[in-house]
Amino acid sequence: MNDTVKLERPDAASESAGQTPYSAWMQTDLLHALQHPVSDHPGEHAWIASVQVSELYWMLIIKELQTAQMQLRANDLSEACKTLKRVVGHHEPLNATWRSIAWMTPTDLLAILSRVQAKYGKDTALQGWAYRQMVYLLGIKQADHLQHFTPQPQRWTQLNKALYEPSVYDDVLAYLNRNGFPVSAAVLERDFSVPYQSDKSVEKIWRDVYADPNQNLELQQLGETLADIAEGFSMWKYLHLMATRRTFGARPAYFGTEGIAWLKPTMDEIPFPELWSARGFIGDPPAVCPHMTK
C-alpha cells in the first residue's frame, strides 16, 4: 500500500478564497502565523519579527547581487549599476531593524535565549544561511563557516556552491578586464573559495578609473555604488557589535569565545578592498595640504 500523499498546488481561485486580493498576494495569513515565541517575555516577538525581516532583506539583496552579476557578464554596466543601487536602498531598512530591539538589556535577552535553548538547542547567528550566502556574494569567503550547516544538507550544498563561484567583485574585475583595464591572470583565475587578497595592480586600476573626474563616469558611478554597499554592510556589522555589547557583554558566546572579541575582527572585513585603498592615491592634494608627505 502506498501511503505517499501527492500534494498538488491549488488553483488561483481556491488559493484566494476567503481572502482579499491584498492578503492573497502578500500571503498575510501565512506571514503572521510564522512567529512562535517560546517564552512569555514581551521582547521575544519583537526579536523574532526583527530577525525574520532581516532574513527577507538578505534574500532580497542576494537576488539583486545575482542579477547584477548576470548583467555584468552581459556587459550591461548601466543596468548593473541600477541593480546595485537598489542594494544600497535595501540596506537602509535592514539596518533600521536593530532599533526594534535596541531597548533590550542583558536580563531581557537572556530570559528569551534560555527558553530558546531549552526548546531548540544552542542557538547562534552563525547558523543563518541567507546571511552567509550574501557575505559570500560580497566576496568574504570563509569555508569554515560551512560546518554550521551540516544539519541542513540542502543549504550546505547551496553555500558550498556559492563559496566556489565568483563574487560580485570578481565579476566587476572581469568586466574591467574586458573593457580596457587589464587585470592580472592571477586575480582573474584564482581559487574563488579562498579569501580575496588585495592586489596592487587592481588598486592601480581603480586609481586610473578615478584619475580624470570627466572620464570613465559610469565606472566611477559603479565604484561609488560599491562603496555605498560596503558602507551599508559594515554599518550592519557595527550595529550587530554594539547590540552584542549592550545585551550580552563580555560573556562567552561563539564556541567559548567572548562575543565582542569574535565580532570585532569582522569590522575589518570590508568588501571591495582596492576600491578603498586606492582612495589614498586618487586626486592631487594642494601644495599646502598638511597631509602631504614631507
The count of other CB atoms within 10 Å of the CB of residue 2 is 5
Write the pLDDT tens digit of every residue in 33-66: 999 999 999 999 999 999 999 999 999 999 999 9
> 15-36: per-residue pLDDT in tens?
567 889 999 999 999 999 999 9
C-alpha 41: how far from its chain's center?
Answer: 30
Please give the model's pTM, rounded to 2 decimal places.
0.89
Burial of 207 (0-12, 13-18, 19+ CB in 10 A): middle
State how far Cα 227 lies from the chain centre: 14
Average pLDDT over residues 59-82: 98
Write the pLDDT tens digit of every residue in 217-269.
999 999 999 999 999 999 999 999 999 899 888 877 665 667 788 888 889 99
pLDDT value of position 292:
63
All 3 cell numbers of residue 98?
Answer: 536593530
Domain range list for the chain? 41-274
Among 200, 263, 267, smallest CA distance to 230 is for: 267
The whole-number average pLDDT for the span 265-289 is: 87
Q: Residue 2: is its pLDDT beyond 50? A: no
Predicted local confidence at residue 7, as pLDDT: 45
pLDDT confidence of 12, banded at 50, 70, 90?
Answer: low
Determine phi and psi for 271, rounding to 5 degrees: -60, 155
For 216, half-sphere exposure in the C-beta direction (CA atoms, 13 angstrom radius) is 18
Name the pLDDT band for 1 (thresholds 50, 70, 90): very low
* Average pLDDT score over the chain: 89
What is the band of 293 on the pLDDT scale with cuts at 50, 70, 90? low
Which percentage of the chain shows pLDDT scores above 70?
Answer: 89
Please provide the CATH number assigned to the domain covering 41-274: 1.20.58.480
Confidence tier at 124 by pLDDT (50, 70, 90): low
